[in-house]
Structure 1
Amino acid sequence: MPQRSDTRQRMVRSTVELLRERGATATTIDRVLADSGAPRGSVYHHFPGGRSQLVREAVATATVPMVTAIESAAENDNVVEAVEGLFAGWRVGVVEGDYRSGCPIVAAAVETNDDAPEIAESAGTAFGQWCDALAKLLQNFGISVERSRVLAFTIIGAQEGALVLSRAMRSTEPLDAVRDEISKLLANAVGETENVPEHHGDDKSE
């Protein structure tokens, strides 16, 4: 049997990388075709929704590795070490990308396009999945549901901001600084949980 064409996958991968390095506005169909080597006719064959569909599928594709990394981090016995492991991955990514590679989800989130609001919506969905996975990870270490959600927003927001600073300054210092502060925050959160006295419903005051 003939091998199935990987044109569609190549186009999605190229879109992810272009979003990382150039941002959403500069990620045009022409650039995707040039980067992926796909023939022009393949665009509407594989992506009848055009650029909007292509970017949305790239965002969905880029979401998966992060969720997988967060779920894998849950195997760690220490919440601080688990989250520091995530930061280590982000650090490697920015350094190996020579401070040019950012987050494709952010690129989609900040695009202003009244004709395709679904692009920003797809970014919101992606960040929601990241935060849900991270909140679940934190809950595994005894942190409450409410607190875990707030911490998840804090970690993702701080990490993405630090990544922007690291790229602009061509230094991992912002990312490292945020990692250290998040580690302290998590250590305190776990400590607060461990120090909560047990409540026995049947106990009565004398």
Structure 2
Amino acid sequence: MTTRRTRGDGSVRPRTGDARRRMVEGAIESLRSHGASATSVDRVLASTGAPRGSVYHHFPGGRTELINDAIAAAGSFMSTFIEQLTREHDPLTALDEFATFWRRTLLDSDFRSGCPVFAVAVETNDDTPEFAHAAAEIFARWHRALAEMLVRENVAQARANRLATLTVASFEGAIALARAQHDITPLEDVVDELRGLLGAVVPASRD
């Protein structure tokens, strides 16, 4: 039987009784709220109600495999979302849509939910370097989508690359600040500045 579950960002998606899916979803939520170092098999089992016996059946590599799969799933979801925004909208509209997503995520979770990819990227994981490698590949995918959108608006490739870097870094930093301060203002400030910058760059590129 399929049920419906509310995500931390306020959206709703189908949820099945499949233990593996529940554990991956639980690991994503733990990464968003607690980071990689605090995401343990026990925490995920407690939050999802998945049977302990299913852990090594579904994840022979244990915690490392579970977190790797969670990073991949979260990265795929967000990458697909960003690619859709940048493909279907102009830069300013895409910026506003992405800001709306994160504004809702932060407020609906009472500032508990951040970016799971950023969570693993900022932690030192000498024993599991694959976490950082996976995060780097996901960030690169976001960067590529943003830069390609700007190039389509006739922004020079080098400038588009820099603006894409600025956008990713600004959002990730703003999300971290908003969570730490329990205040949406850092996100709003970043969005306002990016809107002004993009609004100046894109029309100029069309002249």
Q: TM-score range by the shorter chain?
A: 0.7 to 0.9
2:134 equivalent in structure 1: 122
Q: Is the 8 A contact 1:71 1:137 kept in 2?
A: no
- CA offsets 1:15-58 (integer angstroms, 9 cap, x no match): 00001111111101111111121222212111112211111111
2:36 equivalent in structure 1: 24
Q: Structure 2: any 5+ residue segments left out of the alignment? A: 1-15
Is residue 43 of structure 1 aligned with residue 52 of structure 2? no
Give the aligned length.
191
Give me the TM-score of the superposition, normalised by structure 1: 0.86
2:161 to 142, 146, 149: 149
Amino acid at match of 1:75: E
Name the Cα RMSD after superposition.
1.6
Question: Could you tell me how far 1:169 is from its partner in structure 2?
Answer: 1.4
Q: Is the 8 A contact 1:52 1:118 kept in 2?
A: no
Question: Could you tell me how far 1:116 is from its partner in structure 2?
Answer: 1.1
Instruction: Tell which structure's C-alpha radius of gyration is larger.
Output: 1
Question: Could you tell me how far 1:5 is from its partner in structure 2?
Answer: 6.0
Q: Structure 1: any 5+ residue segments left out of the alignment? A: 196-206
Question: Could you tell me how far 1:185 is from its partner in structure 2?
Answer: 1.2
Give me the TM-score of the superposition, normalised by structure 2: 0.86
Q: 1:113 to 1:79 in 2, by over 3 A?
A: closer
Structure 1 distance, partners of 2:126, 2:51, is 28
Sequence identity, in percent? 45
2:92 to 80, 85, 100: 80
1:106 equivalent in structure 2: 118
Q: Is the 8 A contact 2:79 2:138 kept in 1?
A: no
Structure 2 distance, partners of 1:114, 1:169, is 29
1:131 equivalent in structure 2: 143
- Alignment partner of 2:88: what SS? coil
Structure 1 distance, partners of 2:201, 2:71, is 32
1:59 to 54, 71, 80: 71
Structure 1 stretches of at least 4 aligned residues deviating more than 3 Å after TM superposition = none
- CA offsets 1:111-133 (integer angstroms, 9 cap, x no match): 22221111111111111111112
Structure 2 distance, partners of 1:137, 1:63, is 19
Question: Could you tell me how far 1:159 is from its partner in structure 2?
Answer: 0.4
- Alignment partner of 2:198: what SS? helix
